[in-house]
């Protein structure tokens, strides 16, 4: 697989003419957005003065709501084609550069079934949205990932339609190279971090919603994650010392909470960025290194798991 530096070179060399064109467009949109924004601001404040003669708290609330709602509509309206072009002309070639067999669908996302099957999140989502679906085969291993935002209706006392986020970030599914029947779920370890080993373990063992607690024999891994599973031996068959080490390294590279599960012959991974990835902002240039490297790194992180976790090294019995 291509390295991050190779991809960065591709981004700045091959994609440069496209990005320059997009850059001009971005500047125009930015200017338009600012001038429309100022104009709209004057209108909102002006009408506010017409309705409320003396400034009260409600006066400022009125201004804030109208302004934010109007601006976000305006932003989406003005940037729509820019975002589309970015995805078609920058993201798609970048993904094909990593592997030409990969398929990129900017408006699609992974189906809800994957999210539920992964068993990573206890609550069932009421709404699933997302975009930037990448799917295909790397080294003969099926892999797919997308941005995903899972929400559920919250049971508020005032019975308003409020939505609570269950998960937001990158969700990934790939074939796993070992045979297994049971289910193994790896979650970020919060109990052990807060309460220390003894009480942490006790708390983990006594959460009823999950399977049996499985204590792993890698101290660093145990600190970072908590493992639940239906089978003590199978969980260790899947989580060999090598894989634990790799997952730890992966976690350190991703820098965000990492959820992993092994269900039905597949590995599911959820990286909780709490952000919609691969969306360009008109306030940042695509030529900025910081921005470019973020797209590249995120893509690379997701697609490198096949190589990193050696998912391509199929066992004899699975050939």
Partner 1 sequence: MTTPLIILIVFIIILILMYNSLVAKKNQVDNIFASVDTQLKKRYDLIPNLVASVSKYMDHEKSLLEDITKLRSEANKSDLSEKEKIDLDAKVSKTLGSIMVAVENYPDLKANENVMHLQHSLNEVEEQIAAARRAYNQAVTDYNNALEMIPTNFMANAMGYKQKDLFVISETERENINVNDLFSKR
Tokens of 40: 């709209």
310 near partner 1, judged by CB under 8 A: yes
| Binding residue (CB under 8 A) for partner 1 from 21, 215, 253, 284 | 215
Size of the site for partner 1 (CB under 8 A): 16
Minimum separation from the CB atom of position 145 to partner 1 (A): 25
Return the bridge partners of 136, or none: 143
Instruction: Give the DSSP letter string of 242-279.
Output: HHHHHHHHHHHHH-S-EEEEEETTEEEEEE--SS-TT-
| Binding residue (CB under 8 A) for partner 1 from 96, 241, 253, 255 | 241
Stretch that binds partner 1, among 59-67, 85-93, 300-308, 310-318 (CB under 8 A): 310-318
Using DSSP bridges, classify how beta strands 184-188 and 266-271 pair: parallel, antiparallel or unpaired.
unpaired
Q: Which is nearer to partner 1, 154 or 240 (CB)?
A: 240
Nearest 5 degrees, angle CA 63-CA 66-CA 70? 135
| Binding residue (CB under 8 A) for partner 1 from 211, 237, 256, 273 | 237
Tokens of 155: 């049971």
300, 98 contact by CB (below 8 A)? yes
21 near partner 1, judged by CB under 8 A: no
317 near partner 1, judged by CB under 8 A: yes
Minimum separation from the CB atom of position 269 to partner 1 (A): 21
What burial letters (b/e) apply to 163-196, b meaning 16+ CB within 10 Å? eeebbbbbbbbbbbbbebebbbbbbebebbeeee
Q: Which is nearer to partner 1, 107 or 179 (CB)?
A: 179
Stretch that binds partner 1, among 24-32, 45-53, 188-196, 230-238 (CB under 8 A): 230-238
d(CA 100, CA 105): 14
| Residue entry with tokens 């500047």 | 27
Helix, strand, coil share of the chain (percent; to 5): 50, 20, 30
| Binding residue (CB under 8 A) for partner 1 from 128, 145, 234, 311 | 234
Q: Which is nearer to partner 1, 155 or 206 (CB)?
A: 206
68 near partner 1, judged by CB under 8 A: no
Minimum separation from the CB atom of position 199 to partner 1 (A): 15
| Binding residue (CB under 8 A) for partner 1 from 117, 223, 236, 266 | 236
Give me the residues that bind partner 1 (CB under 8 A), please: 215, 217, 232-237, 240-242, 310, 313, 315-317
């Amino acid at each position: 697989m291509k390295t991050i530096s190779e991809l960065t070179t591709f981004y700045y060399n091959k994609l440069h003419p496209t990005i320059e064109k997009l850059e001009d467009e971005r500047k125009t949109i930015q200017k338009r957005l600012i001038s429309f924004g100022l104009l709209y601001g004057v209108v909102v404040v002006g009408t506010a003065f017409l309705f409320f003669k003396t400034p009260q708290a409600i006066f400022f609330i009125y201004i804030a709501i109208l302004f934010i709602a109007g601006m976000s509509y305006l932003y989406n309206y003005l940037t729509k084609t820019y975002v589309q072009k970015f995805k078609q002309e920058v993201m798609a070639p970048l993904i094909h550069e990593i592997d030409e067999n990969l398929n990129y669908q900017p408006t699609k996302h992974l189906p809800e079934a994957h999210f539920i099957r992964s068993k990573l999140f206890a609550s069932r989502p009421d709404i699933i949205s997302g975009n930037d679906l990448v799917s295909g085969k790397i080294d003969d291993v099926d892999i797919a990932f997308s941005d995903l935002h899972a929400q559920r209706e919250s049971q508020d006392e005032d019975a308003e339609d409020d939505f609570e986020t269950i998960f937001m970030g990158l969700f990934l599914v790939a074939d796993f190279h070992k045979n297994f029947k049971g289910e193994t779920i790896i979650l970020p370890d919060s109990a052990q971090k807060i309460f220390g080993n003894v009480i942490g373990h006790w708390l983990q063992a006594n959460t009823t919603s999950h399977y049996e607690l499985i204590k792993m024999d890698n101290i660093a891994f145990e600190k970072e994650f908590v493992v639940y599973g239906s089978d003590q031996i199978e969980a260790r068959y899947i989580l060999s010392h090598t894989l634990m080490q790799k997952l730890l390294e992966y976690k350190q590279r991703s820098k965000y909470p990492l959820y992993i599960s092994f269900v039905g012959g597949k590995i599911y991974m959820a990286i909780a960025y709490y952000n919609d990835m691969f969306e360009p902002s008109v306030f940042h240039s695509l030529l900025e290194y910081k921005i470019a490297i973020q797209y590249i790194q995120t893509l690379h992180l997701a697609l490198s798991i096949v190589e990193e976790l050696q998912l391509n090294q199929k066992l004899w019995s699975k050939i």
